[in-house]
Amino acid sequence: MNLITTLKGSYVEAFVPKGWDFQKFDDCIGNGVEEASERQSFWNEDFKPVACDSLSDFGVYMGHEIAMEIKNTYEKNQKLALILPVGPMGMYQWVSYFVEQWDIDCKHVYTFNMDEWSDAEGNTSDPKENGSFQYAMEHGFFNLMGERTVPEDQRYFATKEVLPLYGEKIREIKEDGGRLVTVYGIGRAFHIAFWEPHFAEDYDSDEEWLKAEYRIGAALHPLTIEQNALTSYKSRTSLIPAYANTVGPGLYFQSDKMIGGCDGIFGRGMQWQGLSFWVTLRHGPTRWATSTYIPTRPGVLFYMKDLAGPLEPESN
């Protein structure tokens, strides 16, 4: 007896996106780091998952990977566009550390925050409020680097006025010889940024879906809201808006490289991200689960090795 056998007619059924197949999701699940590294036919030749033994290692690896992008483009006098998340966050202190150690700066860097909480019309809260993504980025990243930081007029945040301009600005950077890199996490509902699975209903094909650059006041899936309640708001579901402004696949899947991180572990052997991790690696691309396109792009996905399994209930 499980969700698959009891779903029809249940209260849960209405919340399941039409394109989800839980049996196929379960069929994606492997066991262990070696199986997670087994290359699939749809993987890009320059995509690889990298296991991390601890959260401290995870933060260093992620930070170093981002800092290397900043360093390499700095040395080439090349512009760098970074699409950045608020979460995971521990990597940003290491980006700051490496930038200082290497005696470089971020004057050539342009940052585009991938999302922001909003209401249904796309209005966002005061960026000076604790809880806004802009506040988190200012205090958790930009302010750490002092004079080496990204210039203020090269930081873009996902307000309803600025988000629609992202595509044009990123294309200008790339046309000028610049590089686009996206940093991301993977959601419980397989989202990248807040590009949710039920958005798939609005498109006739994956090809059309792949062209979408953003959404204003996007309706969030209940799994996304509860994920954030557990991981960022100390269980307080009431603090989380039901909507967000978000970049879409038409921007981040145009990246020259994607740098991902899955750190979704709790204490006592508990976790929330193992299924999302395995479906991302094994399912194959579908617009009903945004992260399944990740392996088709060049990049690296760092993950806590516990997410590789076994994904079985605790026996005691």
Q: What is the pTM of this model?
A: 0.97
Read off the tokens for 76. Answer: 């080439």
Q: Is residue 12 part of a domain?
A: no
- What is the greatest pairwise CA distance in the chain? 61
Whole-number pLDDT of residue 316: 58
Q: What is the distance between the alpha carbons of residues 167 and 242, in angstroms, rounded to a whole number?
A: 25
Q: Is residue 18 part of a domain?
A: no
Beta bridge partners of 246: 115, 215
Whole-number pLDDT of residue 313: 85
Read off the tokens for 265. Answer: 């572990």
Which residues of the chain, if any, have pLDDT below 50? Answer: none
Alpha-carbon separation of residue 201 from 197, 209, 226, 287, 289 (angstroms): 8, 10, 22, 9, 12
List, in sequence order, the alpha helices (H) in 176-304. 206-209, 222-231, 249-252, 274-282
- Residue 54 lies in domain: 23-30+46-307
Whole-number pLDDT of residue 87: 83
Q: Is residue 85 part of a domain?
A: yes
Beta bridge partners of 113: 84
Q: How many domains does the chain have?
A: 1
End-to-end CA, the chain: 20
Phi, psi of 50 (to 5 degrees): -130, 120
Could you tell me how many helices (H) and strands (E) the chain has, helices first? 11, 10
Q: Which residue matches tokens 């249904």?
A: 120
Q: How many CB atoms lie within 10 A of CB 237?
A: 12
Q: Which amino acid is at 71?
A: K
In 3D space, the residue among 14, 19, 12 whose CA is nearest the CA of residue 202 turns out to be 19
Q: Give pLDDT tens digits for 172-187.
A: 999 999 999 999 999 9
Q: Is residue 13 part of a domain?
A: no
Whole-number pLDDT of residue 201: 97
Return left, alpha or beta for 236; rule: phi > 0 is left, psi -120 to 50 is alpha, else beta.
beta
Whole-number pLDDT of residue 66: 98
Centroid of chain to Cα 22: 22
Q: Give pLDDT tens digits for 115-160.
A: 999 999 999 988 888 888 999 999 999 999 999 999 999 999 999 9
Phi, psi of 118 (to 5 degrees): -155, 180
Q: What is the distance between the alpha carbons of residues 6 and 46, in angstroms, rounded to a whole number?
A: 41
Q: Is residue 285 part of a domain?
A: yes
Read off the tokens for 13. Answer: 């059924």
Q: Is residue 40 part of a domain?
A: no
Q: What is the distance between the alpha carbons of residues 313 and 316, in angstroms, rounded to a whole number?
A: 9
Q: Is residue 249 part of a domain?
A: yes
Beta-strand pair 214-219/243-247: antiparallel
Segment (H or E) for 93: helix 91-101
Whole-number pLDDT of residue 246: 98
User: 60: domain CATH number?
Assistant: 3.40.50.1360
Q: Is residue 2 part of a domain?
A: no
